[in-house]
C-alpha cells in the first residue's frame, strides 16, 4: 500500500469519527440567503438603503383542552408559522422607528401590517418568496415612515435627543433538541378528570379547567451577524370557579399550575387537592361577613405579596419609548406610555432594606423551579442579570434596544413585543421571621389604637374574575385591587374571614413605605402580558404572543403601614330567580 493510499484511508477514518456538523435549518438558510440579498440589493431609485434588517420566524404548536363538570367543551391541536420583518432606514440616531401616523387607508402603504403567514412545509423556494415579498413591503413602509417622521421633526424643537437604536455586539445561540410534545389524549384526560371534582360542590355555580401545552420555536437572524434558535415551551393548567353569596354577591377564584413541558406539571391527584382547596375557600367566603371600610396596617402574605408586586410594581420596572406622532389624539395615548420611574433613576423607590434583581439565568431556588429564564432575548441580545433596585435606590429599568435617556443600551429583556421580566427577585437584607412579622404588625395596631388589622393572603389575578359581573374597576386613587382571601386579625390573635374587599390608592410610591419584609420567600409564576398600549418601535403593535410568556416572581411577605380597604363599589347583581338545577333546593 503506497503512502498516498495510507494517508487517504487515515483521513477517511478521522472524518468518520468526527461529530456530525449541524446543518442550518431550511428556514434559517432561507432567511440568511434573503437577508444577504436584501442588504446588497434592496434600494428604491435614489432613496436610501436599509442600514439594518432582521427576520424572525415563530413556529407555534399547541395542544389544548377545556372542560367543565367533567364535560369536554373544547379540544384541539394547532400549528402555525409566522414571519416578522424589521427594516430600518436612516441611521441609529434617527430612523423610521418610534413613529406613528394614523393611516388614511387610501393606499396599501398607509396600512400598518403585522406578521406574514408562512407555509408549514420546509419548502426553501416558497420560504424565500414569502420573505422577499414581506421584505419589500417592510422596506417601502420604512421609507414612508421616515419621510413623515422627518417632516414632523422639522416643525418641532427636539427636547430629548436619544438614538433610535442601540449598538450591540453580534451574538449567536442555538437551543438543544426540540422539547417533547404533549399527547392530546393525556391533556384531555386530565382536564376532564380535574373538572369533574366540582360536581360534588353544589354551591359552586360555574367552573372550568383549561389546559394547554404550547411550544414557540423562534428563529432569528439580523444584518449585524446575530442569529439564534430558541424554544419557549409552556405547559399550564388553569382552574377557575365561582359562586354566589346569599345576597347575590358573586365570588370567584382561580389557580394555575405551570411548567415548561407537560411532564413538569403536578399530577391529577395533586391538582385535585388544589381544586378542593379552591372550592373550600369559595364556600367559606359565601358565609363570611360583609366588609365595610378600613384604613391602617395591612400585611400581604405569600401569593398576595407576589401578586401585589406583579400588578403595581412590575409595570414600573419596564421602560418603553413613547413614539413621535403627527396626530394629537395618538400623542395623548403615547404620553400614557411614559413611565414615572424614568424620572426616578438614582432615587429611592423602596426602603433601604429592599433590592430587586431580574435574573434570566436562574432555573430554581430553595422554594422550587423558576420558569422565567431564557438564554437570548427577541432582539438577539444575550440574557443577563440586571440589578434594578439596590438598597432601595432605582438603578435601571428592564430595557430593549430602544434607548431612553439614562439607559442607552439593552439589558436583554425584549420579549413578546416589549420589555418583560424573567425571574424577578425582591430581596430583603433584614428579613423577619413569621413571629417577628406578627409582632411588628400587632405593634402597629397598638400604636394606631386599632381593634384589628387586615391580613391579605390571596389577591385576584388579572383575568381571574371573568365569572363576576363588573362592579366598578377604578377609584379616584387609581385601579382597584381585589382581595380574594383576607382576614381581620384582632389584637388577641383571633381571625375573622371577610367576604369581599378591594384595596384603594395603592401605587408604586406606596412601596417606599413598606415597614417590614419576611425572610421566607414565595415563588409565584405568572403569565406576563404587556398591559399598556404598545406601538412597538415601528409605531404599530409588534407581533407578540397574546397568550403571554412565563415569568417568575420571588417575593417575601410585605407589611404596609397604611392601606385603605373597603367593599367594592357598585350595586350587587340580583341572584337568579330559580335555584340551581342540581342544588336540590
Contact 282, 467 (CB under 8 A): no
111 pLDDT higher than 70: no
**Is the pLDDT confidence value at 512 over 90?**
yes
The predicted-structure confidence for 190-222, as pLDDT tens digits, reads as follows 999 999 999 999 899 999 999 999 999 999 999
pLDDT, tens digit, 9 for 90 and up, residues 402-411: 999 999 999 9
Q: How far apart are alpha carbons 194 and 185 in whole angstroms? A: 14
Average pLDDT, the chain: 88
Whole-angstrom distance, CA of residue 240 vs CA of residue 560? 29
What is the Cα–Cα distance from 344 to 151, expressed in whole angstroms?
Answer: 32
Checking if the pLDDT of 105 tops 70, the result is no
Of 258-262, 265-269, 406-410, 527-531, which range is least confident?
527-531
Backbone angle region of 445, left / alpha / beta, with phi > 0 → left and psi within -120 to 50 → alpha = alpha
Weakest-pLDDT range from 106-120, 170-184, 301-315, 335-349: 106-120
What pLDDT, on a 0 to 100 scale, did the predictor assign at position 479? 67
What CA–CA distance (Å, rounded) separates 194 from 513? Answer: 42
Q: CB–CB of 298/124 below 8 Å?
A: no
Residue 266 has pLDDT above 90, yes or no: yes
Number of helices and strands in the chain (H, E): 8, 26
Asked if 142 contacts 50 with a C-beta cutoff of 8 angstroms, the reply is yes
Alpha-carbon distance values, 177 to 9, 218, 369 (Å) = 33, 14, 21
Q: What is the pLDDT of residues 534-571, one digit of tens each?
A: 444 444 444 444 578 999 999 999 999 999 999 888 77
Cα–Cα nearest to 356, from 404, 313, 413:
313
The dihedral formed by the CA atoms of 186, 191, 194 and 198, expressed in degrees to the nearest 10: -160
Check whether 383 has a pLDDT greater than 80.
yes
pLDDT in tens, 430-476: 999 999 999 999 999 999 999 999 999 999 987 655 454 444 444 44
Q: What is the mean pLDDT of residues 89-101?
A: 92
Of residues 306 and 322, more confidence is placed in 306
CA dist 149 and 165 (Å) reads 15
**Beta strand spans in 69-120 (E):** 71-89, 99-100, 116-117
Q: Closest by alpha carbon to 410, among 426, 398, 425, 394?
A: 398
Q: Rounded mean pLDDT of 473-495? A: 80
* 119-123, 416-420, 556-560, 573-577: least confident range: 573-577
Averaged over 218-227, what is the pLDDT? 98
The set of residues, in sequence order, having a beta carbon less than 8 Å from that of 351 and lying 6+ positions away, is 392, 512, 513, 514
Are the C-beta atoms of residues 426 and 358 closer than 8 Å to each other?
A: no
Which phi and psi angles does 357 have, rounded to 5°?
-130, 140
Q: What mean pLDDT do residues 174-190 have?
A: 91
Helix axis angle, 124-154 to 26-41, nearest 10°: 40
Band of pLDDT at residue 580, cut at 50, 70 and 90: confident
Q: How confident is the model at residue 15 (pLDDT cuts 50, 70, 90)?
A: very low
* Under 8 Å between Cβ of 230 and 175: yes
The answer to whether residue 531 scores a pLDDT higher than 80 is: no
Report which of 421, 436, 423 is spatially closest to residue 517, judged by C-alpha positions.
Answer: 436
For residue 581, what pLDDT is reported?
Answer: 74
pLDDT above 70 covers a percentage of the chain that reads 85
Contact in structure between 536 and 418 (CB atoms under 8 Å): yes
8 Å CB contact between 201 and 283? yes
Instruction: State mean pLDDT over 137-144.
Output: 96
pLDDT digits (tens, 9 = 90+) for 291-303: 889 999 999 999 9
pLDDT per residue as tens digits for the range 67-86: 999 999 999 999 999 999 99
Amino acid 18: pLDDT: 39
Amino acid at each position: 500500500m503506497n503512502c498516498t493510499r495510507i494517508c487517504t484511508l487515515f483521513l477517511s477514518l478521522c472524518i468518520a469519527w468526527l461529530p456530525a456538523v449541524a446543518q442550518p435549518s431550511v428556514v434559517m438558510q432561507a432567511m440568511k440567503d434573503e437577508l444577504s440579498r436584501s442588504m446588497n440589493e434592496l434600494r428604491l431609485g435614489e432613496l436610501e438603503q436599509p442600514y439594518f434588517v432582521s427576520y424572525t420566524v415563530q413556529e407555534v404548536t399547541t395542544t389544548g383542552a377545556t372542560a367543565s363538570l367533567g364535560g369536554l367543551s373544547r379540544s384541539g391541536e394547532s400549528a402555525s408559522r409566522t414571519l416578522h420583518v424589521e427594516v430600518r432606514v436612516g441611521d441609529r440616531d434617527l430612523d423610521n422607528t418610534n413613529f406613528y401616523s394614523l393611516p388614511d387607508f387610501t393606499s396599501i402603504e398607509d396600512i400598518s401590517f403585522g406578521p406574514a403567514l408562512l407555509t408549514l412545509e420546509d419548502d426553501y423556494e416558497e420560504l424565500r418568496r414569502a420573505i422577499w415579498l414581506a421584505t419589500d413591503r417592510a422596506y417601502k413602509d420604512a421609507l414612508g415612515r421616515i419621510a413623515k417622521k422627518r417632516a414632523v421633526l422639522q416643525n418641532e424643537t427636539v427636547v430629548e435627543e436619544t438614538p433610535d437604536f442601540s449598538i450591540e455586539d453580534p451574538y449567536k445561540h442555538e437551543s438543544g433538541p426540540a422539547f417533547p410534545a404533549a399527547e392530546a389524549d393525556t391533556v384531555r384526560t386530565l382536564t376532564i378528570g380535574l373538572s369533574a371534582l366540582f360536581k360534588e360542590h353544589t354551591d359552586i355555580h360555574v367552573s372550568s379547567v383549561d389546559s394547554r401545552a404550547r411550544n414557540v420555536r423562534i428563529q432569528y437572524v439580523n444584518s449585524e451577524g446575530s442569529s439564534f434558535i430558541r424554544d419557549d415551551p409552556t405547559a399550564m393548567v388553569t382552574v377557575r370557579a365561582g359562586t354566589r353569596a346569599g345576597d347575590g354577591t358573586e365570588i370567584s377564584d382561580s389557580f394555575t399550575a405551570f411548567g415548561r413541558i407537560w411532564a413538569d406539571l403536578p399530577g391529577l391527584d395533586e391538582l385535585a387537592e388544589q381544586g378542593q382547596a379552591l372550592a373550600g375557600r369559595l364556600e367559606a367566603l359565601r358565609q363570611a361577613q360583609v366588609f365595610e371600610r378600613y384604613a391602617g396596617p395591612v400585611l400581604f402574605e405569600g401569593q398576595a405579596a407576589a401578586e401585589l408586586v406583579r400588578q403595581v410594581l412590575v409595570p414600573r420596572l419596564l421602560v418603553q419609548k413613547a413614539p413621535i406622532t403627527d396626530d394629537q389624539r395618538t400623542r395623548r395615548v403615547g404620553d400614557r406610555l411614559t413611565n414615572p420611574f424614568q424620572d426616578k433613576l438614582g432615587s429611592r423607590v423602596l426602603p433601604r432594606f429592599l433590592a430587586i434583581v431580574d435574573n434570566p439565568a436562574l432555573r430554581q431556588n430553595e422554594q422550587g423551579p423558576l420558569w422565567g429564564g431564557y438564554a437570548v432575548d427577541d432582539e438577539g441580545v444575550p440574557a443577563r442579570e440586571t440589578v434594578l433596585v439596590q438598597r432601595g435606590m432605582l438603578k435601571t429599568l428592564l430595557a430593549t434596544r430602544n434607548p431612553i435617556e439614562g439607559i442607552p443600551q439593552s439589558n436583554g429583556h425584549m420579549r413578546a413585543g416589549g420589555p418583560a421580566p424573567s425571574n424577578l427577585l425582591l430581596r430583603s437584607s433584614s428579613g423577619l421571621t413569621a413571629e417577628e412579622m406578627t409582632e411588628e404588625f400587632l405593634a402597629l395596631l397598638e400604636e394606631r389604637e386599632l381593634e384589628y388589622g387586615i391580613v391579605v393572603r390571596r389577591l385576584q389575578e388579572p383575568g381571574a374574575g371573568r365569572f363576576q359581573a363588573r362592579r366598578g374597576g377604578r377609584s379616584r386613587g387609581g385601579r382597584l385591587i381585589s382581595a380574594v382571601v383576607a382576614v381581620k386579625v384582632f389584637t388577641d390573635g383571633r381571625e375573622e374571614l371577610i367576604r369581599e374587599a378591594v384595596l384603594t390608592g395603592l401605587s408604586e410610591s406606596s412601596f417606599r413605605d413598606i415597614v417590614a419584609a419576611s425572610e421566607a420567600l414565595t415563588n409565584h409564576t405568572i403569565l406576563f402580558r404587556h398591559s399598556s398600549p404598545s406601538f412597538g418601535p415601528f409605531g404599530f403593535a409588534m407581533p407578540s404572543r397574546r397568550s403571554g410568556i412565563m415569568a417568575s416572581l420571588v417575593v417575601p411577605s410585605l407589611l404596609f403601614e397604611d392601606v385603605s380597604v373597603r367593599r367594592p363599589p357598585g350595586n350587587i347583581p340580583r341572584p337568579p330567580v330559580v335555584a340551581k338545577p342540581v342544588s336540590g333546593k
